[in-house]
Structure 1
């Protein structure tokens, strides 16, 4: 018999394990290099027309790499994240650099800002980790947080690329340490389930998580439903178009 309802196993998210600060920063160090962050903020400033200092909300800010760089460039930034460990690092870095970033521990599903920000950013697969109705509500809250004429950026994985190019397993190696990810895409829930094994310093730890993946047309329709209009979109941070050969979608939207 075909499955006509969502399978609960595809909504698993081991938050504490996936976002263990030491392991996360250790394995993703190459992805999070400062020069890559600076380039991404260059793209944000251009794509979101940040021509003068603006008030910016960074949802899912993690350890603050984009929030801190935006602050260095004169913007007034509020970063929100549910991980106390990442926020502790972000606050230390802000204090060391004398940057006035406000970091708030909180759930993006519960933000209640009302037309307080000129720009909102939600980057690096933060959008999509919740259930469909919660993801839509996050978009609604993003729109509500924006002032009239404000703009936002969403950076997510490209579902069409995943369906076409998904590998059943990937391995990241750093010296003798390994991060092994086993992937399954569920077409009914539209979620990518990742069963992760991390081997570091001879110790093994497991984590499971899933992310809702969207096609461009689906995400554009969701944005439109909450009053956000897509004004530009890229498949890479180098400005290439959305394509089956590119695994990301970077959407620039404005508040209608």
Structure 2
């Protein structure tokens, strides 16, 4: 069943046109292995206090890596993304889960959703920062606006402090995948803009290529203020999607923070 279509996006189109292709699906599936996805899904279930039947928004959902596992745990999940290629892959992976348990929709998250009664929402894996700060605020407003009063929202992303602490000019990271493909990642940080420009280059038996992305990385204080600016009330900060309290110097910090918030009660 194809993902339902929504209204055309704002101009310009959302970031990512042409980025999310077959190479992305193959390589990023290696970068984010299934064991991490299962850990993230378990952490999200616990942090959001989910139970079978809970209505959950996964936005953006990408190729459905978390939507699928949350639905298999018993949630009723709506996955939203603008990338038609990723949504097609998400549908391919859904197996026999019925539409009542897992739905996908193509939508520009800078625009409001029609839903207002979800029990919880997640925005994870650095899904903010590709556009302007105002666009990030629009996305958070959309995500929070789809959740019922008193519901919970989890935002998981990079945080600037840990990145700056580990960053050194000219640094390179490399990883070799099971099929022999070598991927090299080269980040370049602009401290004034607060953005990291990253290039990925790969070469292997299935070909070579390159991708680039620009990501605004916020401090924890800036992230908290963004949430508050759209009416979300910060509850706690965590190590990524885990239940561990956030500690930027902790052994499991990994440069990631999960902010748990709630929507205002009526």
Q: TM-score, normalised by structure 1?
A: 0.86
**CA contact under 8 A between 1:72 and 1:99: conserved in structure 2?**
no
Distance 2:241 2:231 in 1: 25
Q: What pairs up with 1:70-219 in 2 under 5 angstroms?
A: 70-94=70-94, 96-100=95-99, 101-167=102-168, 168-174=171-177, 175-201=179-205, 203-219=207-223
Does the CA-based 8 Å contact 1:153-1:250 persist in structure 2? yes
TM-score (norm 2): 0.83
Tell me the matched-pair count.
Answer: 242
Which runs of 5 or more structure 1 residues have no equivalent in the other structure? 1-12
Q: CA RMSD in A?
A: 2.1
Query: Aligned partners of 1:216 and 1:169: how far apart in 2?
Result: 25
* Structure 2: gaps (5+ residues): 1-14
Give the SS at the match of 1:89: helix
Deviation readout 1:11-38 (Å, 9 max, x if unpaired): xx66423x22x32333333443333322
Shift of 1:130: 1.6
Which of 234, 252, 256 aligns to 2:260? It is: 252
Cα distance in structure 1, aligned partners of 2:172 and 2:86 = 27
Provide Cα deviations, 1:73-127, integer angstroms capped at 9, x if missing partner. Answer: 2211111112222211211222x23342111122221243352311111110112
Q: Which has the higher helix share?
A: 1
1:202 CA displacement: 6.6
In structure 2, relative to structure 1, the CA distance for the partners of 1:208 and 1:36 (3 Å cut) is: closer
Asked whether the 8 Å contact 1:242–1:248 carries over to 2, the reply is no
| Contact residue 53 and residue 75 of structure 2 kept, 8 A | yes
